[in-house]
Structure 1
Amino acid sequence: MSTILVVEDEKAIADILAYNLEREGYHILVAYDGKKALEIIFDKKPDLVLLDIMLPKVNGFEVCKKVRSQLTTPIIMLTARGDSVDQVLGLELGADDYIKKPFVMKELLARVKANLRRVKMMNSESNLKNSLIEIGDIIIDDEKYEIRMKDKALDLTLREYELIKFLSKIPGKVYTREELLSEVWGYEYFGDLRTVDVTISRLRDKLKLDNNDTSEYIMTKRGRGYYFKVS
């Protein structure tokens, strides 16, 4: 049974989320402020976190930042504001996705299921093989979920790791944002395409070893999507 932490300061919303998630068979933990959320996350190690942004004591952005510095736990941020700045900032801090309030419960449950399924699949793949994949200057370590460039390990989130691994399987093949959302995020029916764009942008920055590095690995095919290029 997967454990999900619901971090929401509005008790009515937290209760609704907990009720619906429990009906799906998940074990639910609840925190009503950011400080308590951090205590639970580092103590209980939940399988997934539903994280509101506007929280007392420690806001959701800071919680996400602290968690991501140590753990790869999937984080879905909940925001009451339609401001794209909030959404982009959450993704840049390492959140796996965001859902705007008011949300459709069916959509939220689908995203929770997809994130948990992806983690389970990665763990299964790790048990089946422990191999190194070399593509140009990039080495993908399946055992450590790590990517290295010229012997330097990149500081990637689990989603960023999955994305570059997927794109690099067939260099030159162009994938639409819808295809990437389906294959990497596991969202067949739901999901904001901006999530893909922001993650690609963040990953491109991390693939540059310094400010003078002009190498490009993830390319844009105008009007189509993205593809991986071996430098």
Structure 2
Amino acid sequence: MSAVLPGAGSGPKITTKFKAKVFSFADVVVRGNKLTLYQISEPLEPSSSASASNPAPFGTDVNGTPLNDPIPDTLVDPTTGNVVSAPAAGQPALLDRFTVAKPEVEDGVSVHIDGPQQAVAGSTITYSVRVRNGSAYALNGAQVVIHLPDGAAFAGATSDALRVYGAQVVGTVGRIGVGGVETVEVSATLCRSLSARTMLHASAVLRSSTALPVSSNVAPTLIVR
């Protein structure tokens, strides 16, 4: 049995079967709320076979500059399966780049947090966050992140849909369709050492896989005796 199929390496170059003049690869980078795709060529030689009649035989890069020639094909002996071409290395080129950003929906999405105007130190209070999606987009994977004030600690039970990370309580509501309304309620216990006339401030942020985050108002609570 031969190491490779008969005739291997003797056929036409595979790139002739495609519209592209060179092979390319994709690299996707996600930073924050932006996704950028980079299309990168195969390794290229330091020189080009371009001529006046054909100034870009292998196409151009992202800036419109003609590409150098690709490095030679790797040749395989069809009998032994050994590589018989000389080693080659080259520098790839950036062929294309585009960025996908989430839309801003602050004008159409409302996030409102309510809490008691006054509370006694050591008591348990409830914050309620109401989200209304009046934008043109359904919000997928939506989460309400409630920022508890200093001196307040989460007092409820966690679940798959409600998680606590320090002073942040994350409530997952899933998909909020256009016109949809969701409410998340969170209980918090106030520290007994809080002094009278201390003002606590809670807030919330709506985040999703569809749009940029939307911040809420600030809910103030005055500590009384």
Which TM-score band applies after superposition, normalised by the shorter structure? under 0.3
TM-score by length of 1: 0.18
Q: Which has the higher contact order (CA 8 A, sep 6+)?
A: 2
Higher-helix-fraction structure: 1
Higher-strand-fraction structure: 2
